Structure 1
Amino acid sequence: NRYSIIALNIAEIYSHPDFVQQEDIDTLTSNIFESTDKGLSTQKAENYALKLYKLARESYPNVNQTSFLVKKVQLLIQQLKNSIQQLSQLDKEMVELSQQLECFEVIRSIPGIGELTTAMIIGELGDITKFKSNKQLNAYVGIDIKRYQSGNTQYRDTINKRGNKKARRLLFWVVMNIIRGQRHYDNHIIDYYYKLKKQPNEKPHKTAVVACMNRLLKTIHYLVTNNRLYDYQMSPH
Structure 2
Amino acid sequence: MRCVIAFDVSRKSSTMAAYNEQGNCEFEGRLIHSKTGFSNLSKIIKDLSEKNNYTLEFVFEATGVYSAALERFLRENNLVYYSLNPLLAHLNTQSLRRNKTDISDAHQLANNHFKNDYFQTYREDSYYEQMRTMSRRYDEIMKERIQYKNRLHASLQLSFPDFDTAFINKSKLYYNLVQVFPHPNLILKRSKTVIKNRIKKCTKKNYSLKKLEERAILLIEIAKDSFPAVDETDYSCELVRDYAKKILEMEEEQDEIIQRMTEMSKDRKEYRILRSFPGIKDKLACRIIAELGDLTRFKNNKQLNAYAGIDIVRYQSGNMEYKDRINKRGNSRLRGILYFMIVSMLSAKGKQINHLVDYYYKLKKQPYNKHHKVAVVACMNKFLKVAFHLIQNDLLYDYEKASSQQ
Q: Same fold (TM over 0.5)?
A: yes
Match of 2:297 among 126, 130, 134: 130
Aligned to 1:162: 329
SS at structure 2 position matched to 1:184: coil
Match of 2:348 among 181, 185, 188: 181
Aligned to 1:7: 174
Aligned to 1:80: 247
- 1: CA distance, partners of 2:316 / 2:176: 57
- Residue 186 of structure 2 corresponds to residue 23 of structure 1: no
Match of 2:262 among 83, 86, 95: 95
Aligned to 2:155: none
Aligned 1:1-237 pairs, distance under 5 A: 1-2=169-170, 4-40=171-207, 45-236=212-403, 237=406
Report the structure number with the largest CA radius of gyration: 2
**Cα gap change, 1:34 to 1:184, in 2 (>3 Å):** farther
- 2: CA distance, partners of 1:36 / 1:121: 32
**Cα gap change, 1:84 to 1:133, in 2 (>3 Å):** same
Q: Deviations over 1:28-75 (max 9, x none)?
A: 344334422244565655554444334323321122223333233213
| Greater Cα offset, 200-209 or 183-192 | 200-209
> What is the identity, as a one-letter code, of the residue corresponding to 2:271?
F
Q: Deviations over 1:80-118 (max 9, x none)?
A: 322222222122111111223211110111000001110
SS at structure 1 position matched to 2:350: helix
Bigger relative CO (Cα 8 Å, ≥ 6 apart): 1
Q: Deviations over 1:114-172 (max 9, x none)?
A: 01110000000001122111111000000001112233553211000000011111111
- 2: CA distance, partners of 1:144 / 1:232: 25
- 1: CA distance, partners of 2:328 / 2:198: 49
- 2: CA distance, partners of 1:167 / 1:13: 39
Unmatched segments (≥5 aa) in structure 2: 1-168
Q: Does the aligned pair in 2 maintain the 1:16–1:70 contact within 8 Å?
A: yes
| Greater Cα offset, 75-84 or 47-56 | 47-56
**Cα gap change, 1:47 to 1:149, in 2 (>3 Å):** farther
> What is the identity, as a one-letter code, of the residue corresponding to 1:210?
V
Q: Does the aligned pair in 2 maintain the 1:20–1:53 contact within 8 Å?
A: yes
- 1: CA distance, partners of 2:363 / 2:207: 39
> What is the identity, as a one-letter code, of the residue corresponding to 1:206?
K
- 1: CA distance, partners of 2:386 / 2:201: 44
- In the alignment of these two chains, the number of paired residues is 236
Q: Deviations over 1:182-207 (max 9, x none)?
A: 23210001001111111234111111
- 1: CA distance, partners of 2:353 / 2:360: 13
**Cα gap change, 1:142 to 1:56, in 2 (>3 Å):** same
Give the percent of matched residue pairs that are identical in Structure 1 and Structure 2: 39
> What is the identity, as a one-letter code, of the residue corresponding to 2:172?
I
- 1: CA distance, partners of 2:219 / 2:239: 21
- 2: CA distance, partners of 1:226 / 1:32: 52
| Greater Cα offset, 109-118 or 83-92 | 83-92
- 2: CA distance, partners of 1:127 / 1:42: 52
TM-score by length of 2: 0.54
Unmatched segments (≥5 aa) in structure 1: none
Tell me how large the CA RMSD over aligned residues is.
2.1
Aligned to 2:50: none
| Greater Cα offset, 25-34 or 78-87 | 25-34
